[in-house]
């Protein structure tokens, strides 16, 4: 026997059902994801933090270069574990595996499907996004209570980037078109997020533009969590919430166009 | 609200266009409860689009659609909770175990007792001993059985089978047929699209032939045969000139003739006068294939 299904939107049971599919799949490949999530920040910290930091850059804004990079890399981990899996995962499930045909034949609508996919990626990226911070602590970053908020910052930002990835997947005709998105959008945003160098090193125009970069806002929030919050951080967090909500609605709209004839 | 409907599926005047192509063109289709209706038609007849209309994955441009009394697309979600769908393409999660594939869909269909539903489906698919294996370790036949069982995980009132055996080898096809036949015998309402004549003939209580987006004939297979092609078909083999001659003679007598590979098939052969059909013709019982080719003009599979 099944429970009665209503016609209301965003039913928790539908969202949980879609997420349970993701969890079942994740159990088959979590080792690879965990491996790269741990190893990548170590490599970056060794290369940039210890290599560059020991030779060329002594400190940034009163922080050691390891502290600067370890806190900045949370944003890098978040975008690479949310936007990219959302883009490729959504496209593959839609185009090659026909997974969404099966899910939408069940009592699940596109809005629930997209919400579940984004939530799952957000949770994953929120978790793995904290790894650079943990590795950074092993490399000498002082643990602070404020850092306990970092998974929340990472989760909220990852929701937006996951929604971005879903929207892109629902808009391209071929998988190789993702190259344009990574080259023209993701890489530039990742580079001007204040991860490896402070944005005040950039030309003035780019400094203003960087303020509209959600990754930069995340980097600043994580540094606030590690070295002390400022009042403006409330606005930064609010901007990330708005970013994620807006991208979520765009993702639902794009996917509806894609999946419903 | 569910209005107790007399028909499990009620489609009236459904139209679905994709740009300049009209895939479903004023389709009327009623499926009473407890029967297996075979939706038979050549590729491009509109069968899959009809299935997608019924699952809410396509929205009709015109017409009224109801499934189990629920109006589509507004109440599609409730309707989908009471129907099972077995897709044309295998979309199982291949890295996930058999058991987890079933459990995930039991949750999607809000099944209250997920473990019990999984056990029931393992029994239906005869995969209890492979429950812990990833799907990509299963044979093609096992995967198809699992796909069918997945569509039954919530004990649906109505089952939609979209080309359930397309691309399968004969042995697996026969295996699937016996499973579907078991469901039919158990009184499950089934709408099965297919372009395999034999599949429709064996499994369907009634056959609706679709062509160019609409139903062009519908009845029990035996009635369709009797109505459109009579009881006997004669096949005549020979060089093209001779076949053309035989065809002309038969048609002049009002008999219907269709090409049948290297032969011509003269339908209603039992009504022919002496001499119309050559003595070396091979006479056989008329089949649904004769009806299909006659009505659609397409070669049967």
- The answer to whether B195 and B40 have CB atoms below 8 angstroms apart is yes
Q: Would you state the pLDDT for residue B299?
A: 60
> How many domains, in total, are found in chain B?
2
Lowest mean pLDDT among B4-8, B10-14, B129-133, B202-206: B4-8
- The answer to whether A192 and A209 have CB atoms below 8 angstroms apart is yes
Same domain, B161 and B280: no
3-state secondary structure B54-101: HCCCCCCCEEEEEECCEEECCCHHHHHHCEEEECCCCCCCCCCEHHHH
Q: Would you state the pLDDT for residue B1?
A: 44
CA distance B301 to B299: 7
CA nearest to A97 within chain B: B91
- The answer to whether A105 and A88 have CB atoms below 8 angstroms apart is no
Average pLDDT over residues B157-185: 88
Note the pLDDT tens digit of each residue in B209-218. Answer: 999 999 999 9
Note the pLDDT tens digit of each residue in A194-220. Answer: 888 888 888 888 888 889 999 999 999
Annotate A130-146 with b (16+ C-beta within 10 A) or e (fewer).
Answer: bbbbbbbeebebeeeeb
Q: Would you state the pLDDT for residue A140?
A: 85
Q: Is residue B20 part of a domain?
A: no
CA distance B162 to B175: 17
- The answer to whether B157 and B189 have CB atoms below 8 angstroms apart is yes
Residue A99's Cβ-count burial label (10 Å; 0-12, 13-18, 19+) is: buried
Q: Is residue B123 part of a domain?
A: yes
Same domain, B238 and B113: no
Number of H helices, E strands in chain B: 10, 14
Same domain, B166 and B41: yes
Average pLDDT over residues B289-300: 78
What CATH number has the domain bearing residue B245? 3.30.70.3110
Contacts B75 to A, Cβ<8 Å: 7
CA distance B184 to B30: 17
Closest CA to B113 of B156, B147, B153: B153
Same domain, B182 and B119: yes
Same domain, B204 and B246: no
Same domain, B98 and B200: yes
CA nearest to A5 within chain B: B78
SS3 A28: coil
What is the extent of the structural domain holding B102? 32-45+82-224
Residue where a domain stops, chosen among B177, B209, B224: B224
- CA B223: distance to chain centroid? 18
Closest CA to B86 of B39, B153, B148: B148
Q: Would you state the pLDDT for residue B27?
A: 95
Element (H, E) at B23: strand B21-31
pTM of structure: 0.89
By Cβ distance, the residue of A5, A27, A261 closest to B58 is A261
Same domain, B253 and B204: no
Q: Would you state the pLDDT for residue A1?
A: 62
Chain length of chain B: 301
Half-sphere exposure of A258 (CA within 13 A, CB side): 26
Average pLDDT over residues B291-298: 82
Considering chain A, what percentage of its residues have pLDDT values greater than 70? 96
Same domain, B235 and B267: yes
Average pLDDT over residues B242-259: 86
3-state secondary structure B196-224: CHHHHHHHCCEEEEEECCEEEEEECHHHH
Note the pLDDT tens digit of each residue in B111-120. Answer: 999 999 999 9
Parallel, antiparallel or unpaired: strands A63-64 and B263-267: unpaired
Q: Is residue B298 part of a domain?
A: no
The position carrying tokens 């119309």 is B276
By Cβ distance, the residue of B18, B49, B109 closest to A2 is B109
Q: Which of residues 60-119 of A touch B (CB under 8 A)?
A: 97-99, 101-109
Note the pLDDT tens digit of each residue in A166-186. Answer: 999 999 999 999 999 999 999
CA distance A131 to A126: 9
SS3 B281: coil
Average confidence score pLDDT of chain A: 90
Same domain, B98 and B208: yes
Q: Is residue B40 part of a domain?
A: yes
Lowest mean pLDDT among A132-136, A145-149, B58-62: A132-136
Contacts A28 to B, Cβ<8 Å: 95-96, 134
Half-sphere exposure of A98 (CA within 13 A, CB side): 11
Collect all residues with Cβ–Cβ distance below 8 Å to B14 and sequence separation of at least 6: B24, B26, B27, B28, B29, B50, B53, B60, B62, B63, B64, B65
Q: Would you state the pLDDT for residue B298?
A: 66
CB–CB of A101 and B155 under 8 A?
A: no
Structure tokens at A172: 């391209």
- The answer to whether B38 and B210 have CB atoms below 8 angstroms apart is no
Residue where a domain stops, chosen among B198, B224, B250: B224
Q: Is residue B7 part of a domain?
A: no
SS3 B254: coil
Note the pLDDT tens digit of each residue in A31-78. Answer: 988 888 788 878 887 887 677 766 666 777 788 888 888 899 899 999
Q: Would you state the pLDDT for residue B102?
A: 97
Q: What is the biggest distance separating any 2 CA atoms in chain B, rounded to whole angstroms?
A: 69
Residue scoring higher pLDDT (A31 or B260) = A31
SS3 B191: strand
Q: Is residue B264 part of a domain?
A: yes
Say which DSSP state A145 is in. G
Same domain, B248 and B211: no
**How many A×B Cβ pairs under 8 Å?**
109
Q: How confident is the model at residue B272 (pLDDT cuts 50, 70, 90)?
A: confident
Considering chain A, what percentage of its residues have pLDDT values greater than 90? 65
Task: Mutation target for B interface from A7, A30, A105: give the one with most B CBs within 10 A.
Answer: A105
Q: How confident is the model at residue B3 (pLDDT cuts 50, 70, 90)?
A: very low
Q: Is residue B205 part of a domain?
A: yes
Chain B: give the shortest CA distance to residue A151, in Å.
27
CB–CB of B89 and A98 under 8 A?
A: yes
Note the pLDDT tens digit of each residue in B230-249. Answer: 888 988 998 888 888 888 88
What CATH number has the domain bearing residue B201? 3.40.50.300
A30-44 vs A65-80: helix crossing angle, rounded to 10: 150
Note the pLDDT tens digit of each residue in B34-87. Answer: 999 999 988 889 999 999 999 999 999 999 999 999 999 999 999 999 999 999
Same domain, B252 and B135: no
Same domain, B131 and B263: no
CA nearest to A255 within chain B: B57
Q: Would you state the pLDDT for residue A172?
A: 95
Cis ω for the linkage preceding A138 (within 30 of 0):
no
Is residue B191 over pLDDT 90?
yes
Q: Would you state the pLDDT for residue B135?
A: 96
Q: Would you state the pLDDT for residue B4?
A: 45
* φ, ψ of residue B186 in degrees (nearest 5): -80, 0
Separation in Å, CA A105 to CA A10, A101, B63, B76, B195: 16, 6, 21, 10, 22
Average confidence score pLDDT of chain B: 90
By Cβ distance, the residue of B77, B85, B96 closest to A109 is B77
Q: Would you state the pLDDT for residue B273?
A: 76
Q: How confident is the model at residue A236 (pLDDT cuts 50, 70, 90)?
A: very high
């Amino acid at each position: 026997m099944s429970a009665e299904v209503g016609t209301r939107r965003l039913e928790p049971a539908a969202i949980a059902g879609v997420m349970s599919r993701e969890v079942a799949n994740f159990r088959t490949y979590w080792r690879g994801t965990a491996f790269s999530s741990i190893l990548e920040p170590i490599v970056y910290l060794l290369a940039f933090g210890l290599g560059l930091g020991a030779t060329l850059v002594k400190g940034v804004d009163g922080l050691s270069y390891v502290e600067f990079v370890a806190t900045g890399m949370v944003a890098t981990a978040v975008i690479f574990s949310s936007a990219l899996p959302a883009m490729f995962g959504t496209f593959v499930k839609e185009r090659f595996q026909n997974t969404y045909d099966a899910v939408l034949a069940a009592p699940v609508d596109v809005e629930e499907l997209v919400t579940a996919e984004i939530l799952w990626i957000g949770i994953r990226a929120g978790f793995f996004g904290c790894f650079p911070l943990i590795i950074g602590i092993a490399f000498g970053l002082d643990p602070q209570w404020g850092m306990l908020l970092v998974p929340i910052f990472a989760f909220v930002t990852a929701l937006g980037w996951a929604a971005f990835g879903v929207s892109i997947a629902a808009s391209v005709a071929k998988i190789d078109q993702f190259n344009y998105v990574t080259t023209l959008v993701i890489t530039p945003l990742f580079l001007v997020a204040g991860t490896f160098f402070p944005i005040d090193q950039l030309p003035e125009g780019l400094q203003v533009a960087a303020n509209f970069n959600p990754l930069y806002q995340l980097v600043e929030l994580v540094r606030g969590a590690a070295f002390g919050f400022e009042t403006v951080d409330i606005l930064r967090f609010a901007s990330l919430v708005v970013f994620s909500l807006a991208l979520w609605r765009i993702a639902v709209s794009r996917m509806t166009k894609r999946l419903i004839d | 609200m569910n209005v107790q409907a007399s028909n499990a599926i009620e489609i009236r005047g459904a139209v679905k266009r994709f740009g300049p192509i009209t895939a479903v063109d004023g389709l009327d289709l009623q499926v009473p409860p407890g029967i297996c209706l075979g939706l038979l038609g050549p590729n491009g007849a509109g069968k899959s689009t009809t299935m997608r209309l019924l699952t809410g994955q396509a929205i009709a441009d015109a017409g009224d659609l109801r499934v189990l009394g629920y109006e589509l697309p507004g109440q599609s979600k409730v309707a989908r909770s009471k129907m099972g769908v077995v897709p044309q393409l295998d979309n199982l999660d291949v890295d996930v175990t058999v058991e987890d594939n079933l459990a995930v869909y039991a949750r999607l269909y809000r099944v209250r007792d997920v473990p019990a539903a999984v056990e029931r489906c393992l029994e239906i698919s005869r995969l209890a001993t492979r429950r812990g294996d990833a799907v990509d370790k299963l044979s093609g036949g096992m995967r198809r059985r699992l796909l069918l069982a997945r569509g039954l995980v919530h004990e649906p009132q109505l089952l939609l089978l979209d080309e359930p055996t397309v691309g399968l080898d004969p042995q697996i096809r026969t295996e699937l047929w016996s499973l579907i036949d078991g469901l039919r015998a158990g009184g499950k309402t089934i709408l099965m699209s297919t372009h395999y004549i034999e599949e429709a003939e064996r499994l369907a209580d009634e056959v609706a032939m679709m062509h160019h987006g609409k139903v062009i004939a519908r009845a029990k297979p035996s009635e369709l045969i009797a109505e459109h092609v009579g009881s006997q078909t004669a096949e005549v083999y020979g060089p093209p000139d001779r076949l053309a001659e035989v065809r002309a003679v038969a048609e002049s007598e009002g008999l219907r003739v269709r090409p049948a590979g290297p032969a011509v098939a003269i339908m209603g052969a039992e009504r022919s006068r002496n001499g119309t059909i050559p003595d070396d013709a091979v006479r056989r019982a008329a089949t649904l294939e004769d009806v299909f080719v006659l009505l659609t003009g397409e070669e049967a599979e």
